[in-house]
């Protein structure tokens, strides 16, 4: 009898964790496993604010998939998925089609621009190695060319960041460290550069309590970041964002040489386009992380919607959730293949750490509030723990942040 075919699409946190754990859970005779991903490398999305600002080389945030996922156990195919046909047990890719008995969807997120005019065309987003390389190069070009312009425009050196959630704040924090280096490198007076973080809500980082938010604002403002709160981006043009303060009728134009949108994310649109029943664009999975419509389709990471039983609200889309799902799903697939009952997935919130740039962060772990260097150390531990879980001590030593030899 032929072996059941397990197809994993997307090699992000959810897909990689599922693949590496399936290798441990199953014997080679249990199933044929295939992993499909757009690139031949896996990147740690959670580190991308650093290469975007230019404070860490992008190669530090990626690894070849074949080095981490044993090619003798998992067939890797570099290809781009264009559609899922769940009624036919097929996935369509740019280069053909793949049939499956069990499908794991781990295609991650897309930036959500909420239909705001001009954002898709004129703003950069922090999504992948490709998108962050563009941000870094663009900012560097603005600095490098500034002194060569016949009539230099100061707004060329303004970086406007839309959205002060975790992505926006972690990114402006890195910029605050990078800008003085760029100024030195290109003979530019620091006072000519503006980093503006625009947020519609009355506060940055709405999920942190006031004490930590005040600390973050103080630390970042002291490094020259400007926060514009209660202010919504209404439109984006090639050289500006049009904003409106809450309760005001007036619009203001903020000119900027670089515009980065970090105002929200949504599930990969392939899910909705493929005709799955969705809730906020995501597949609301059951306790076994299964689609309610197709019992052989599982979903992990940002394409899945899981209710947090403690808060009775959807779990936020995080790497933490995707990793926990990957571990649980690999076990459940073993149970299914061995005709055993599945185990219900329960999300365990281990806390949140927001980086405020090198050596600084804020964190909430259980009922503990941590700030400064201890929180920054915790962030590195969290980042390295993922590498340890994924590829063991070897990967952590080679690619991790706590490695003193780098
Ligand atoms: P991803 O990790 O995004 O991976 C999706 C994979 O699918 C990618 O490899 C992609 O190339 C591939 N793919 C996409 N489309 C296709 C296609 N059509 N065909 C083939 N392959 C495709 N969460 C935390 O818990 N902690 C943090 O500290 C944290 N920091 C973050 C910092 C930043 C800057 C950002 C942007 C997010 C951060 N997050 C963090 C959120 C976290 O990164 C996401 O929730 C997580 O990456 C989701 O994992 P995933 O497996 O669903 O998808
Ligand atoms: P988000 O949705 O959490 O934050 C987006 C922010 O943009 C919000 O504060 C929102 O009020 C603001 N916004 C939206 N529209 C706006 C507009 N028109 N004008 C001005 N402001 C506007 O998105 P994110 O920060 O990209 O985070 C996405 C997910 O990734 C979340 O689940 C988050 O927890 C996770 N994440 C975690 C970490 C971490 O744990 N350190 C870091 C980054 C991201």
244 and 332 both lie in a single domain: no
183 and 222 both lie in a single domain: yes
pLDDT average, residue stretch 85-104: 98
Q: Is residue 322 part of a domain?
A: yes
Closest atom of ligand 1 to 128 CA is: 11
93 and 208 both lie in a single domain: no
305 confidence band (pLDDT: 50, 70, 90):
very high
**Residue nearest atom 14 of ligand 1, based on CA coordinates:** 107
171's tokens: 């990114």
Residue 406 has pLDDT above 60, yes or no: no
Catalytic residue among 170, 211, 284, 343: 170
Closest atom of ligand 1 to 44 CA is: 2
259 and 294 both lie in a single domain: no
The rounded distance, in Å, linking the Cα atoms of 164 and 257 is: 19
Ligand 1 proximal residues by C-beta, below 6 Å: 10-15, 36-39, 45-46, 48-49, 80-81, 106-109, 126, 128, 167, 170, 268, 270, 301-302, 317-320, 322
Q: What is the pTM of this model?
A: 0.97
Domain interval for residue 172: 119-263
What pLDDT is recorded for position 220?
98
Closest atom of ligand 2 to 205 CA is: 9
142 and 222 both lie in a single domain: yes
Q: Which helix (H) or strand (E) holds 133?
A: helix 129-146
Residue 166 C-alpha to ligand 2 middle, in angstroms?
5
Closest atom of ligand 1 to 303 CA is: 52
Q: Is residue 366 part of a domain?
A: no
Residue 127 C-alpha to ligand 2 middle, in angstroms?
13
CB 109 within 8 A of CB 268: yes
- Which position has the higher pLDDT, 66 or 401? 66
The rounded distance, in Å, linking the Cα atoms of 108 and 117 is: 24
CB 261 within 8 A of CB 75: no
Q: Which helix (H) or strand (E) holds 392?
A: helix 373-399
pLDDT average, residue stretch 153-174: 96
The rounded distance, in Å, linking the Cα atoms of 92 and 90 is: 7
Q: Is residue 372 part of a domain?
A: no
What pLDDT is recorded for position 402?
82
14 and 91 both lie in a single domain: yes
- Mean pLDDT across the chain: 96
Residue 42 C-alpha to ligand 1 middle, in angstroms?
10
Q: Virtual CA dihedral for 319, 320, 321, 322, nearest 10 degrees?
A: 40
* Residue corresponding to tokens 């919607």: 305
63 and 147 both lie in a single domain: no
210 and 140 both lie in a single domain: yes
Of the ligands numbered here, which is closest to the C-alpha atom of 316? 2
Which of 69-73, 268-272, 400-404 has the least mean pLDDT?
400-404
- Number of domains composing the chain: 2
Flag whether the ipTM exceeds 0.90.
yes
Ligand 2 proximal residues by C-beta, below 6 Å: 116, 162-168, 170, 198-201, 206, 232-233, 262-265, 316-318, 352-354
The rounded distance, in Å, linking the Cα atoms of 48 and 1 is: 45
The rounded distance, in Å, linking the Cα atoms of 318 and 326 is: 13
Residue 110 C-alpha to ligand 2 middle, in angstroms?
12
Where is the domain boundary, 201, 233, 263? 263
Residue 272 has pLDDT above 60, yes or no: yes
297-334 burial string, b = 16+ CB within 10 Å, else e? bbbbbbbbbbeeeeeeeebebbbbbbbbbbbbbbbbbb
Residue 36 C-alpha to ligand 1 middle, in angstroms?
15
Q: Is residue 291 part of a domain?
A: yes
pLDDT digits (tens, 9 = 90+) for 212-222: 999 999 999 99
403 confidence band (pLDDT: 50, 70, 90):
low
Residue 170 C-alpha to ligand 2 middle, in angstroms?
10
**Residue nearest atom 30 of ligand 1, based on CA coordinates:** 46
**Residue nearest atom 29 of ligand 1, based on CA coordinates:** 46
List residues bridging with 93 in a β-sheet.
81, 96
Of the ligands numbered here, which is closest to the C-alpha atom of 347? 1
| Active-site residue flag, 170 | yes
């Amino acid at each position: 009898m032929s072996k059941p075919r397990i197809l994993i699409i997307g090699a992000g946190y959810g897909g990689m964790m599922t693949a590496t754990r399936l290798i441990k859970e199953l014997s080679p005779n249990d199933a044929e496993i295939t992993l499909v991903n757009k690139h031949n490398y896996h990147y740690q999305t959670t580190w991308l604010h650093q290469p975007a600002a230019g404070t860490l080389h992008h190669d530090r945030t990626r690894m070849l998939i074949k080095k981490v996922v044993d090619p003798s156990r998992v067939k890797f195919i570099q290809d781009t998925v264009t559609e899922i046909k769940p009624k036919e047990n097929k996935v369509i890719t740019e280069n053909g089609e793949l049939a499956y008995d069990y499908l794991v969807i781990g295609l991650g997120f897309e930036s959500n621009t909420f239909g705001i005019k001009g954002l898709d065309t004129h703003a950069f987003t922090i999504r992948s190695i490709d998108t962050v390389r563009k941000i870094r190069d663009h900012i560097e070009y603005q600095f490098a060319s500034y002194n060569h312009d016949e009539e230099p425009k100061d707004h060329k050196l303004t970086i406007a960041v839309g959205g002060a959630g975790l992505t926006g704040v972690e990114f402006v924090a890195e910029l605050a460290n990078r800008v003085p280096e760029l100024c030195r490198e290109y003979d530019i007076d620091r006072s000519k550069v503006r980093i503006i973080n625009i947020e519609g809500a009355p506060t940055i980082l709405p999920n942190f309590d006031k004490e930590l938010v005040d600390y973050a604002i103080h630390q970042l403002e002291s490094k020259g970041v400007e926060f514009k709160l209660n202010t919504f981006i209404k439109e984006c043009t090639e050289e500006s964002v049009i904003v409106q303060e809450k309760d005001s009728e007036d619009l203001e134009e903020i000119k900027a040489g670089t515009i980065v949108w970090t105002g929200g994310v949504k599930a990969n649109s392939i899910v909705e386009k493929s005709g799955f029943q969705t809730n906020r664009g995501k597949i609301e999975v059951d306790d076994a992380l299964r689609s309610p419509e197709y019992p052989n389709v599982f979903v992990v990471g940002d394409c899945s919607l899981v209710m947090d039983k403690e808060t009775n609200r959807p779990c936020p889309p995080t790497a933490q959730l995707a990793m926990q799902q990957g571990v649980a799903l690999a076990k459940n697939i073993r149970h299914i293949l061995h005709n055993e009952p599945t185990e219900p997935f329960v999300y365990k919130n281990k806390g949140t750490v927001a980086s405020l740039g090198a050596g600084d962060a804020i964190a909430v772990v259980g009922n503990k509030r941590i700030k400064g260097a201890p929180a920054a150390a915790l962030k590195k531990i969290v980042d390295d723990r993922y590498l340890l879980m994924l590829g063991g001590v070897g990967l952590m030593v080679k690619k991790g942040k706590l490695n003193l030899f780098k």
